[in-house]
Amino acid sequence: MSALPPPGTPLCALDVLGDPDARGFAFGEGTDLVRLFVVRKDGVLRGYVNSCPHAFTPLDWVPDRFFDREKQHLLCATHGALFRVADGVCIRGPCLGKALTPVPVEAADGVVRISARP
């Protein structure tokens, strides 16, 4: 996996994220491309690398569409794996038990950023 952007890297304004909601971001290009997304649900912000542990595709075929229809779980559009928002663990689908790679994020002064905290 390519390196994540450094701590402090801004991702988006906090107020563009609903609840529940998610937004994807891409940094670098070619072999250095890294995709990640932030998700807010029940008031909690989390970040994950946007790469499904099944076949390593981005979860969202339609940009920023990361949730299932009920907006309860994260959905990989490629083969339908469902992931818990809280810890990124796959609870249904071909990568059952595997997990998305977490990305530390935080919000301060209305901006969502990559965080140094794990």
| Closest distance of CB 79 from ligand FES, Å | 3
Output 47 or 93, the one with its CB closest to ligand FES: 93
| Closest distance of CB 80 from ligand FES, Å | 6
Q: Report the distance separating Cα 25 and Cα 30, nearest Å.
A: 15
| Closest distance of CB 72 from ligand FES, Å | 17
User: Exposed (0-12), middle (13-18) or buried (19+): which is 114, by Cβ within 10 Å?
Assistant: buried
Residues that bind ligand FES (CB under 6 A): 52, 54-55, 57, 76, 78-81, 93-94
Output 34 or 90, the one with its CB closest to ligand FES: 90
Output 54 or 84, the one with its CB closest to ligand FES: 54
| Closest distance of CB 64 from ligand FES, Å | 17
Of residues 116, 105, 118, 107, the one with CA closest to residue 38: 105
Going through 28-72 in order, the beta strands assigned E by DSSP cover: 34-41, 44-49
CB contact set of 57 (below 8 Å; sequence gap of 6+): 51, 76, 78
Output 17 or 75, the one with its CB closest to ligand FES: 75
